[in-house]
Amino acid sequence: MSRGSTAGEPAPANRNVTLRDVARFAGVSVATASKALNGQPQVRAETRARVIQAAEQLSFSPNTIAQSLITQRTGTVGLLTSDLEGRFSIPILMGAEDAFGSDQTSVFLCDARDDAIREKHHLRALLSRRVDGLIVVGARPDTRTSLGRELPVPVVYAYAPSDDPRDLSLVTDNVGGGRMAVDHLLRCGRRRIAHITGDPDYGAAQDRARGALERLAEEGLEPAGGEVWFGMWSEAWGRGATRMLLERCTDVDAIFAGSDEIARGVLDVLHEERIDVPSRVAVIGFDNWKVLAANARPPLTTIDLNLEQLGRIAAQRLSAAMEGNPGSGVETVPGRLVTRESTAPLR
Amino acid sequence: MSRGSTAGEPAPANRNVTLRDVARFAGVSVATASKALNGQPQVRAETRARVIQAAEQLSFSPNTIAQSLITQRTGTVGLLTSDLEGRFSIPILMGAEDAFGSDQTSVFLCDARDDAIREKHHLRALLSRRVDGLIVVGARPDTRTSLGRELPVPVVYAYAPSDDPRDLSLVTDNVGGGRMAVDHLLRCGRRRIAHITGDPDYGAAQDRARGALERLAEEGLEPAGGEVWFGMWSEAWGRGATRMLLERCTDVDAIFAGSDEIARGVLDVLHEERIDVPSRVAVIGFDNWKVLAANARPPLTTIDLNLEQLGRIAAQRLSAAMEGNPGSGVETVPGRLVTRESTAPLR
């Protein structure tokens, strides 16, 4: 290999420009040109600048991987999810894509299935494909193990927060959502408010109940029936709990269901018992799972956790981290009330 | 750059082996070593073999991208989906992952949202990340435009078939599913079978109805109510159509609903009218959308389109294509009957 023998001579126009042409034009060896374009440290800054300039002048079109090594960006982000059913991941994915700009960045979703080995494998695959950053989505809003501080790209945790406070996590606001649901029922003039919810082992169930009880306590109220009805995340539990509730507490005027599935069961029993919704009992759900909420009779007022918004913010925070401004700690994204026909003011 | 000056001399053990070490060991220039490992055509076969052998002997660990250039495989596959709600994509993704082996291949899902520009962008991103192959999932089971024959990796179309018969497409069996639903009702001794289904603009609605009518005709039967009840993919339509059906046709003994959403509406009206399911009217849905089917009262018998199986077969066909054995044409994956409590033999 001759070194710099024809420095400054442009490559013929009738063939593809190669790394060799760039090296010759810059007056360096092919190996040095390669190192310079690959961002390796053994090259002096002036040399690297000369090589990059030569590459630009010659319109050197290496493959995209080589190009990405120059810019240090690939325009791809990994979304590593453990949310099996895709109910949380898809809106988060969409929000992130919107925030990145769908013509700027591609988000690659990988399904880790709450399995540590699978997660590690996908993590390796995404990193080896040189994604610029990672969004890690949990299956539940409970704390998860950090991927560690040694990763070569920034990470933002979404839905399930990292257990390392140096990481940045974005979480939904289940406590605030519980408050919001009860607050809406109070504004509708309801005072005998019951709360039927899911599995008490889930942080989401506990947090929603806590918010609801706090808001009730501020008005000097207790939940109708005297306690929170924990059970399962199912329509069947919504039906069973409502039957028990109606036996124990005949003057209930509102039910806050901890999920839209539970709310569907609540509505079915009220319908069977010819108890009008919303005039006699108002019902509010949680999740805004459209297939359940919009199709309910009457269509269900519910709390939306704003997962798309969470995805958008995750993308913004990840972009900031990629620019060298990483965040840390846990950031809470507020939910919002979606009113349909199952709640209304008492006349 | 000296050429081959210290050929055969192993690199020192106390530092990382570099491309330069490999070149020296193989007795070639760095540029030639690079070309050989990058699979570029200007290198003679013996030279390439010597360089690869040298790299192996020195346990040369280039980055994974370089490694993938040697093996020509990256262990990643792209899944380009236009299925907004993720209802079809996620099971197909899971099936594909299972078939590839989750420790062998990572499947990257990209969301194209039925938007040609977005699809093109994601396609470019996936190809530039050097995926080994692509699975393209449509939003509806209707024919879609081929991505063309010029792509550098094999493609398998899933759910929505390609309009180019030279492509390989895997589709669900909506006609067969319709037959299967009616066949099950016939085996339950039902003869007055109605079919309430969704939007007639969807191929899925037409195909399911066609299968149902064919199977009825084989028994010399017409659908109860005289025609197929096309409408919308919603619970509300299921309710409305059932009310009309019961007015027109008092002796109906089975209803085949074109989706589980519609079936939920059907069940609600039968429940209200105190018509027992399944003893008086058997009900079968379509989709096996668990949140709707398993939670129904009674739990809903339905047709499952076997999307995970479709994903597994897509992965197998893609693997075969990557091995140099591409298929073509449209391959139909049969569905299966999932029996729950909403159907039973007449006593």
Q: Chain B contacts of A89, Cβ < 8 Å?
A: 86
CB contact under 8 A, A20 and B31: yes
A18-27, A231-240, A298-307, B151-160: least confident range: A18-27
pLDDT, mean of residues B152-162: 94
CB contact under 8 A, B90 and A107: no
DSSP assignment of A185-200 equals: HHHTT--SEEEE-S-T
Residue A13 has pLDDT above 70, yes or no: no
B187 in contact with A, Cβ within 8 Å: no
pLDDT at residue number A7: 43
Q: A264: part of which helix (H) or strand (E)? A: helix A260-272
Q: Chain B contacts of A122, Cβ < 8 Å?
A: 106
pLDDT, mean of residues B199-205: 93
A6 in contact with B, Cβ within 8 Å: no
Question: Which of B68, B97, B115 is nearest residue A111 as measured by Cβ atoms?
Answer: B97
How big is the CA angle at A296 (ends A293 and A298), to the nearest 5 degrees?
A: 115
CA-based nearest residue in chain A for residue B262: A295
Residue A39 has pLDDT above 90, yes or no: no
d(CA A12, CA A21): 9
- Selected residue with higher pLDDT from A45 and B102: A45
CB contact under 8 A, A122 and B109: no
Average pLDDT, chain A: 87
Residue B71 has pLDDT above 60, yes or no: no
Q: Which of residues 108-167 of A touch B (CB under 8 A)?
A: 108-111, 113, 115, 117-118, 121-122, 125-126, 128-130
Query: pLDDT, tens digit, for every residue of A161-194?
Result: 999 999 999 999 999 999 999 999 999 999 999 9
pLDDT at residue number A72: 60
Query: pLDDT, tens digit, for every residue of A66-125?
Result: 444 444 677 899 999 988 676 788 889 889 988 988 667 899 999 888 888 889 889 988
Name which of A27, A34, A23, A11 is nearest B35 in CA terms. Answer: A34
Q: Which of residues 76-95 of A touch B (CB under 8 A)?
A: 76, 84-86, 89-90, 93-94
pLDDT band at residue A277 using 50, 70 and 90 as cut-offs: very high
Give whichever of B10-19, B173-182, B319-328 has the largest mean pLDDT.
B173-182
A54-58, A132-136, A148-152, B92-96: least confident range: A54-58
**What ipTM was estimated for this complex?**
0.76
pLDDT at residue number B17: 66
pLDDT at residue number A32: 85
Query: pLDDT, tens digit, for every residue of B24-66?
Result: 888 898 888 877 776 666 778 788 778 877 877 776 655 544 4
CA-based nearest residue in chain A for residue B289: A291
Residue B3 has pLDDT above 60, yes or no: no
Size of interface A-B (CB pairs under 8 A): 130
d(CA B242, CA B114): 33
Q: Which of A73, A129, A131, A235 to mutate to test the interface with B (most CBs of B within 10 A)?
A: A129
Query: pLDDT, tens digit, for every residue of B253-310?
Result: 999 999 999 999 999 999 999 999 999 999 999 999 999 999 999 999 999 999 999 9
Q: Which phi and psi angles does A302 have, rounded to 5°?
A: -155, 170
Query: pLDDT, tens digit, for every residue of A292-341?
Result: 999 999 999 999 999 999 999 999 999 999 888 999 999 999 999 999 99
Name which of B56, B3, B6, B9 is nearest B31 in CA terms. Answer: B3
DSSP assignment of B4-58 equals: STTTTPPPPTTS---HHHHHHHHTS-HHHHHHHHTT-TTS-HHHHHHHHHHHHHT
Contacts of A97-102 with C-beta under 8 Å, sequence gap 24+, read A97/A311, A97/A315, A97/B111, A98/A308, A98/A311, A98/A312, A98/A315, A99/A311, A99/A312, A99/A313, A99/A314, A99/A315, A99/A316, A99/A319, A100/A315, A100/A319, A102/B115, A102/B118, A102/B121
CA-based nearest residue in chain A for residue B121: A103
Residue B284 to chain A, least CA–CA distance (Å):
19
A134-143, A152-161, B33-42, B137-146: least confident range: B33-42
pLDDT band at residue B4 using 50, 70 and 90 as cut-offs: very low
- Selected residue with higher pLDDT from B68 and B245: B245
Residue A228 has pLDDT above 80, yes or no: yes
Q: Chain A contacts of B128, Cβ < 8 Å?
A: 63-65, 68, 74
Domains of chain A: 19-71 (1.10.260.40), 76-172+307-335 (3.40.50.2300), 174-304 (3.40.50.2300)
Percent of chain A with pLDDT strictly greater than 70:
88
Residue B145 has pLDDT above 60, yes or no: yes
